[in-house]
Structure 1
Amino acid sequence: MKLQVALCVACLLLTGSAQDRATFQRGNDQRGRCQYTFTVSSPREASCPLSGGGPEMEALKARLTLLEAHVSRLVGEGPGAGPRDAHAQAELERARLQREKEQLDGTVQDLQARLVDMKQEVERLRAQPCPAAFPQSAALQDGGRRAASGSGGVSPLVSRSMVQSERGRVRDSAWSLGSPGYQELKAEVTQLPASQLTQEGTEDDTGCGELVSVSEPVSHRKADNIAGKYGVWMQDPEAPPGGPYGPQMVWRIDTIGTDVRQLFGYEDMNQFSRGFPTKVLLLPDPMESTGAVLYHGSFYYQRRLSRTLVRYDLATESVAARRELPHAGFHGQYPYSWGGYTDIDLAVDEQGLWVIYSSNKAKGNIVVSQLDPKSLEVRKSWETSVRKAAVANAFMTCGRLYTLASYTAPNTTINYSYDTATGQAKAIAVPFQNRYGYNSMVDYNPSHRKLYAWDNFHMISYGVRLGKLDAK
């Protein structure tokens, strides 16, 4: 390319030098037409308005300028390459900064969650009573030293054996009388249950306690059409043995529409993620809202346009019980802040079947009632001080009600807790993520120790961490 440019420039220079001696001239007449004349140099030649080269020369110069610009761009030099390259570099830099910002945001969220966990651990450690005296092992060591120095009546040989035996039991070379602060800290740490130090529940960690933290969401599936913008998905935490559907069965129902009846069953989580149902059940009554749950082989839901609760037996594929929820608001009277006719929200936890709702008597505040899972009869009710329309969603865990502050904020909190065992309520701040910006369902599964949620077409789950059970 550079060689071609050089040849073109040489041709132009030769042509210019030839024109100094040439007798072939070009000019415009009075009508604007170009005339070519063969003449010699004269004073009138300089008066030709196009003696600088005319249109063809100007076009040639323009083409040469473009050619130089192209060459400059190819070699990465010159003014022609600057703006476009600068714009491309700016776009790349902007994309890099955006990626770094997203990574930093994730790091900040992780650090915030860890900070909350650390604060709670510190509070629990501070709540532990300080030991009134040194541990027995320290007393034995001290007694052994006194005996060895001859201050006591015990034989030095016996005292040394006692000390060695005690040291073998303690197995801690740093345990000494010279650091009582370390001894107190060690006593507090050794009294801390191992279940509080794990991020997720294990087979040994089966007790109940307050909600400590919620993990980042894990997406399992995305709905295929607009009917799946919000809905319900679940697994039976207490699938009856010998029933037609085991505990690995996953169930899903899309709740957009006026005639919501289809309940889809999937063999396991893998088939659920792939979208291949093995069973489709048709409910006898259309359901309303996203408050349905699955418990002990039955599907519990609210019948559309009513306060009636329905228990649908999956094994017989028939209605096993129907009952009105006394005084409960329905069809938009007391929904959650996101709407969706979520006046009546059923829930399941370690203590059984619950329903979260409100009534005229409660003046819009949340009411929690425990239900008989067979007859749907209300066993006991609790009225809270938090308005139902002020929270995005709610769920039950270990007999405690928890509410979600926002259904759209990417980083929100579980902001309220009510203990039905003590009747005590308190404000909390457990971090929670709405990854897809429209969380319409949050339910707890006590068997898997997870929260199941439906966030803007996405079916996701969260791991939960429960703390030590408070002494009643």
Structure 2
Amino acid sequence: MKPVFILLFSSTWVLCGAQLYYQGLMDYLENRLLAIEDHMHLWQEQSRQYQVELQHLYKQSNKTMAGLKKTHSDLSVDLEAAAIRLERVERNMDVVGSQMSPRACAKQADRVVEQGVWSQEESRDEEEEDWKELPSRVTDCLEIVSSIRSMKILKRAGVSKGVWLRDPRSSKVYVFNGTMGDTIYQFQSVKEFASSSGVTLGHPIKLPSDWRGAGVALFNGFLYYIQQGEDMHVVRYDLLRSELTDVAILPVGSRAAVYSLNPETVADLAVDNQGLWLLYASDENEPNINLAKMDPVSLDIEQIWDTRCPRENSEAAFVVCGVVYVVYNTQLASRSRLQCVFDVNDKVVSEEEPLFYFPRRYGSHASLKYNPDEKQIYSWDDGYQILYRLTTKRKLLV
């Protein structure tokens, strides 16, 4: 009987212990579930709060964006109006600059000499000053550029820098694609060049040596170009016979660029109705552009001038009737402007010196080649071939 009682007691104790264990486990699990539910409620509350804040932020962002769009629209309108006013101011400045002297200060005697008028009182006031005899006239041309009448963008062909020009004595057009090479391309006319689909589709002409920079010119059927070697040379090439006719050493002591914005052009050649001209810098420290009159046959230097036109920020130049016109720009290409004028005869008075901007183009000229028969400039601007038609007038003093 006693063993049976012990067995029942043991079984009862085991069952009670197991019940207590499972009850504790159930209580633990229930508490954990309650804690998880509390956390879930907290997360839901926080999510609702975040959603409300996000919606508020979204509405605020939309409101801010609407305000920014309106401000941008207002700024665009203001900028367009400012651009219109700026263009109007530039036109007015061009008009004023063409009618007034850019030099506000000048000696009274200088103005009297320019006007060719003397009074007895002015003679007495200035009689003690030293006066030099004026040099003989280099050219008999009486014209000076007054403005740019029109601009025509012919096409865009080739690389960003190059030269194109037409011989004043023929209709043929010659294209120098790039800043150096030994091959140029010939077209029978401007119209043929305009209708061609590429620069290299013209008739190729292989030169006896490399040309470099924008220092090229055409005169009476001959091509003149700058050749760089141990010395600087100007080459005279007969286009009709396809033969080299002469080579001359240039008076250039260094490889200093004549135009600071086009460093590959060490020396430039220009042609007008008076002949062949050379523009260069005598050395690296020379601040101004030098000008030389050349014999187109012998290539001899006939006379040299200091133009007093600075090389800094210059991009190109051309010569019309013995007057040098230097065009300037900025390092970050903007509107080109004619800013310096030099007359080899010293007959251009300050009141008639043209100072004007080229038609609106935000580029930089690699070359400007004047054709005296057409009174046009053949320009290469960032790969565009452009024609500028000039307006001229008679000089005040001859």
Give the TM-score category using the shorter length: 0.5 to 0.7
Structure 2 distance, partners of 1:103, 1:270, is 35
**Partner of residue 231 from structure 1, selected from 146, 162, 185:** 162
**C-alpha spacing 1:35/1:384, structure 2 compared with 1 (3 Å):** closer
- SS class of match (1:31): helix
Partner of 2:183: 262
Identity %: 20
1:82 corresponds to which of 60, 63, 69:
63
One-letter amino acid matched to 2:256: Q
**Residue number among 203, 217, 231 corresponding to 1:279 in the alignment:** 203
1:451 to 377, 383, 388: 377
Tell me the secondary structure at the aligned position of residue 386 of structure 1.
Answer: strand
Corresponding letter in the other structure for 2:247: R
Shift of 1:425: 8.3
Displacement of 1:415 in angstroms is: 2.9
What residue is the counterpart of 1:384 in the other structure? 306
Equivalent in the alignment of 2:16: none
Q: TM-score, normalised by structure 2?
A: 0.67
Of 85, 92, 99, the residue aligned with 1:111 is 92
Higher share of residues assigned strand: 2
CA distance in 2 between partners of 1:388 and 1:416 (Å): 8
Decide whether aligned partners of structure 1 residues 301 and 425 sit closer, same or farther in structure 2, where only a CA change above 3 A counts: farther
CA contact (8 A) 2:212 2:227 kept: yes
CA gap of 1:399–1:118, structure 2 versus 1, over 3 A, is: closer
Amino acid at match of 1:320: T
Match of 1:93 in 2: 74
The reply to whether residue 291 of structure 1 matches residue 215 of structure 2 is yes
Structure 1 residue 219 corresponds to structure 2 residue 220: no
Determine the C-alpha separation between the residues in 1 that align with 2:216 and 2:169: 16
Q: Which residue identity is paired with 1:466? A: T
Does structure 1 residue 469 correspond to structure 2 residue 395?
A: yes
8 Å CA contact 1:231, 1:253 repeated in 2: yes
CA distance in 1, matches of 2:313, 2:350: 15
Conservation of the 8 A alpha-carbon contact between 1:235 and 1:445: yes
Taking the TM superposition and a 5 Å limit, the aligned residue runs for 1:425-436 are 428=353, 430-433=355-358, 435-436=361-362
* Structure 2 unaligned residues grouped into runs of 5+: 1-28, 102-110, 118-140
Whole-angstrom distance in 1 between the partners of 2:187 and 2:30: 91
Residue 119 to residue 471, structure 1, CA distance change in 2 (3 Å):
closer
TM-superposed deviation, 1:341: 4.0
SS, match of residue 303 in structure 1:
strand
How far has the Cα of 1:431 moved from its partner? 1.4
Q: Give the distance between the partners of 2:197 and 2:92, measured in 1 at CA.
A: 35
Aligned partner of residue 228 in structure 2, secondary structure: coil
Residues 22-46 of structure 1, C-alpha deviations (whole Å, 9 max, x = no match):
xxxxxx964356789xxxxxxxxxx
Instruction: Give yes or no for the alignment of 1:401 onto 2:324.
Output: yes
Does residue 1:419 correspond to 2:343, yes or no?
yes
> Are the structure 2 counterparts of residues 432 and 415 from structure 1 closer, same or farther at C-alpha, using a change threshold of 3 Å?
same
Post-superposition CA distance 1:433-456 (Å, at most 9, x none): 483343332222212212233333
* Alignment check: 8 A CA contact 2:349 2:396 kept: no
Describe the superposition over 1:215-246 as per-residue Cα deviations: whole angstroms up to 9, x where unpaired.
5754333345xxx232211122222xxxxxxx
Counterpart CA distance in 2 for 1:250 and 1:407 is: 30
Question: Structure 1 residue 381: deviation in Å?
Answer: 0.8
Measure the CA separation in 1 of the matches of 2:34 and 2:383: 73
Which residue of 291, 298, 303 maps to 1:375? Answer: 298
2: distance between equivalents of 1:343 and 1:80?
A: 58
CA offset at residue 285 of structure 1? 0.4
Cα distance, 1:411 vs structure 2: 4.3
Distance change in 2, residues 1:350/1:97 (3 Å): same
8 A contact 2:336–2:364 mirrored in 1 = no
Q: Check conservation: 1:301, 1:346, Cα contact below 8 A.
A: yes
Work out which of the residue numbers 299, 302, 306 in structure 1 matches 2:226: 302
Q: Name the structure 1 match of 2:3.
A: none
SS of the equivalent of 2:296 reads: coil
Q: 2:45 and 2:309 mapped to 1: Cα distance?
A: 84
Count of residue pairs brought into register by the alignment: 326
Write the deviation string for residues 80-105 of structure 1: whole angstroms up to 9, x where unpaired: 63123333333333434333333333
Q: Aligned in 2, Cα 1:272/1:465: closer, same or farther, shift over 3 Å?
A: same
Matched, 1:210 2:144: yes
Equivalent pair of 2:185/2:204 in contact (CA under 8 Å): yes
TM-score of the pair, normalised by structure 1 = 0.58
Which residues of 2 match residues 34-49 of structure 1 at below 5 A?
none
AA matched with 2:240: A
Which SS does the other structure have where 1:102 is aligned?
helix
SS at match of 1:284: strand
User: Which 5+ residue runs of structure 1 have no aligned equivalent?
Assistant: 1-27, 37-47, 130-206, 240-246
User: Structure 1 residues 220, 93: closer, same or farther in 2, change over 3 A?
Assistant: farther
Q: 1:19-69 deviations in whole A, cap 9, x for unaligned? A: xxxxxxxxx964356789xxxxxxxxxxx787xx76568767877998x88
Q: CA deviation at 1:349?
A: 1.0
1:466 is paired with a residue whose SS is strand
Greater relative CO, 1 or 2 (CA 8 Å, sep 6+): 2
1:263 Cα offset (Å): 0.8
Q: CA deviation at 1:369?
A: 2.8
Q: Is 1:342 matched up with 2:342? A: no
State the superposition RMSD in angstroms. Answer: 4.0
3-state secondary structure, aligned to 2:355: strand
Which segment is superposed worse, 89-98 or 291-300? 89-98
